[in-house]
Amino acid sequence: MGGAAGDMILASLLSAGASVEEVEEGIRGLGLSVRLELRQVEISGIDALALKVVPPEEHVHRTFADIRRLIEDSDLSDRVAGRALEAFRLLAAAEGRVHGVPPEQVTFHEVGAADSIADIVGTSLALELLGVQSASCGPLPMGSGVVRAAHGPLPVPGPATLEVLRGCRVRWPEEEMEMTTPTGAALMRTLTGGEFSDAAPPMVLSAVGYGAGTVRLQSAPNLLRAVVGRVEGPAGELEVLEANVDDVSGEILGSAVERLLEAGAPDAWLEPIVMKRGRGAYKLCVLARRQDRERLAQLMMRETGSLGVRHHPVGRTVAERRIVEVELPYGRCRVKIGSLDGRDFVVSPEHADATRLARGSGVPLPRVYDDARRAALSEKA
Domain boundary among 196, 216, 233: 233
Measure the CA–CA gap between 54 and 71, rounded to whole angstroms.
20
In a domain, 137, yes or no: yes
Measure the CA–CA gap between 129 and 248, rounded to whole angstroms.
37
Q: Is 261 in contact with 299 (CB distance < 8 Å)?
A: no
- Same domain? For 228 and 276 the reply is no
- Same domain? For 138 and 277 the reply is no
- Same domain? For 241 and 223 the reply is no
Range of the domain at 374: 320-380
Domain boundary among 314, 329, 355: 314
**What pLDDT sits at residue 110?**
53
Question: Can you give the CATH number for the domain in which 266 is found?
Answer: 3.30.70.1380
In a domain, 268, yes or no: yes
Q: Which residues of the chain carry a pLDDT beneath 70?
A: 1-4, 58-59, 109-112, 150-151, 232-236, 380-381
**What pLDDT sits at residue 223?**
93
- Same domain? For 167 and 202 the reply is yes
Quick count: other Cβ atoms within 10 Å of Cβ 157? 25
Domain total of the chain: 3
In a domain, 339, yes or no: yes
**What pLDDT sits at residue 163?**
94
Question: Can you give the CATH number for the domain in which 339 is found?
Answer: 3.10.20.300
Domain boundary among 257, 287, 314: 314
In this structure, what are the phi and psi dihedrals at residue 106, rounded to the nearest 5 degrees? -65, 130
- Same domain? For 216 and 256 the reply is no
**What pLDDT sits at residue 150?**
66
**What pLDDT sits at residue 2?**
44
| Percentage of the chain lying above the pLDDT 90 cut | 46
- Same domain? For 224 and 294 the reply is no
- Same domain? For 259 and 332 the reply is no
Per-residue 3-state assignment (H helix, E strand, C coil) for the chain: CCCECHHHHHHHHHHCCCCHHHHHHHHHCCCCCCEEEEEEEEECCEEEEEEEEECCCCCCCEEHHHHHHHHHCCCCCHHHHHHHHHHHHHHHHHHHHHHCCCHHHCEECCCCCHHHHHHHHHHHHHHHHCCCCCCCCCCEECECCEEEECCEEEECCCHHHHHHCCCCCEECCCCCCECECHHHHHHHHHHHCCCCCCCCCCEEEEEEEEEECCCCCCCCCCEEEEEEEEECHHHHCEEEEEEEECCCCHHHHHHHHHHHHHCCCCEEEEEEEECHHHCEEEEEEEEEEHHHHHHHHHHHHHHHCCCCCEEEEECCCCCEEEEEEEEECCEEEEEEEEEECCEEEEEEECHHHHHHHHHHHCCCHHHHHHHHHHHHHHHHC
Measure the CA–CA gap between 239 and 348, rounded to whole angstroms.
26
**What pLDDT sits at residue 131?**
87
Measure the CA–CA gap between 111 and 97, rounded to whole angstroms.
16
In this structure, what are the phi and psi dihedrals at residue 308, rounded to the nearest 5 degrees? -165, 155
Q: Is 349 in contact with 334 (CB distance < 8 Å)?
A: yes
In a domain, 110, yes or no: yes
**What pLDDT sits at residue 380?**
65
In a domain, 1, yes or no: no
- Same domain? For 97 and 178 the reply is yes
In a domain, 132, yes or no: yes
**What pLDDT sits at residue 270?**
96
- Same domain? For 41 and 149 the reply is yes
- Same domain? For 345 and 309 the reply is no
In a domain, 64, yes or no: yes
C-alpha distance from residue 130 to each of 16, 18, 275 (Å):
8, 6, 44
Measure the CA–CA gap between 231 and 188, rounded to whole angstroms.
18
In a domain, 164, yes or no: yes
- Same domain? For 222 and 244 the reply is no
- Same domain? For 106 and 179 the reply is yes
